Amino acid sequence: MAKDILISGGGKGGVGKSVVSVGAIDTALAHGETPILVETDTSNPDVWKMYKNELRAELIDLDEANGWIDLINICDQHPESTIIINTAARNNRGVAAYGETLSNTLSELDRRLVTFWVINRQRDSLELLNDYMTALAGSVIHVVRNGHYGPEEKFELYNGSKLRTSVERSGGQSLTFPDLADRVSDDLYSKRLSIGTAMKTLPLGNRAELTRWRHEVHKVLSGALYGAS
């Protein structure tokens, strides 16, 4: 079977899709993979800027049918690589219009489609997930509670919801993504640093915090992607 197609989604801006994409790239690299990044936030391609000199990174607009065609062709041409898709805030529109194009090719691609759906503590990210699950019914969906917005117990709307029950009954997991200190996060984004480059160039204290976060990220995402703990 070919490697997974991984989507970091959330349907809205500011929930933390990019940092989950960065964590997924770093986790894949730690497992000896050579992932391909597909950046769909073409107006503000932060993750693409961080990794474009270190791995294959494509800018693709998934608001248009041609973008989905390009995505599927990349998946077909590189079965040995995990495809990591960082989505734009508006991406639910493109998924609703064209997501079936990808779903219909999964069998021929011989790939599993996995979504990390990133949420904050507000209701709209959950409502958008309902729409997404309908549009991409072929995806395994893990819900990622972004720890930047508080500890796991603070996500009360999701924790006690029927949506959580539906996600977990369908084989998905409810994950809590670790928070990274703002000063280190600001370093990564303002200086366009990959995790690997940051570990070589940031001051020692910053690197110590990044190492802590990195280890936690690997545990969270590896469990969902590779069955490791």
Answer yes or no: is 126 within a domain: yes
Report pLDDT for 75: 97
Answer yes or no: is 98 within a domain: yes
Number of domains in the chain: 1
Q: How many CA atoms lie within 13 A of 220 on its CB side?
A: 24
CATH, residue 55: 3.40.50.300
d(CA 105, CA 139): 12
Report pLDDT for 228: 46
Answer yes or no: is 211 within a domain: no
Please write the tens of the pLDDT for every residue from 51-68.
Answer: 999 999 999 999 999 999
Answer yes or no: is 192 within a domain: no
Residue type, 101: T
Report pLDDT for 178: 97
Please give the residue range of the domain that contains residue 154: 5-179
Answer yes or no: is 23 within a domain: yes
Answer yes or no: is 212 within a domain: no
Which two three-digit tokens encode residue 94?
Answer: 């493109």
Report pLDDT for 32: 95
Q: Which residues of the chain have pLDDT under 70?
A: 90-91, 228-229
d(CA 162, CA 200): 44
* Pair 209, 184: CB distance under 8 Å: yes
Report pLDDT for 229: 40
Answer yes or no: is 93 within a domain: yes
Angle between helices 92-103 and 65-77 (to 10 degrees): 40
Report pLDDT for 91: 63
- Give me Rg for the CA atoms of the chain: 16
Give the global pTM: 0.94
Report pLDDT for 199: 97
d(CA 228, CA 93): 34
Burial class, 144, CB count within 10 angstroms (exposed 0-12 / middle 13-18 / buried 19+): buried
Answer yes or no: is 100 within a domain: yes
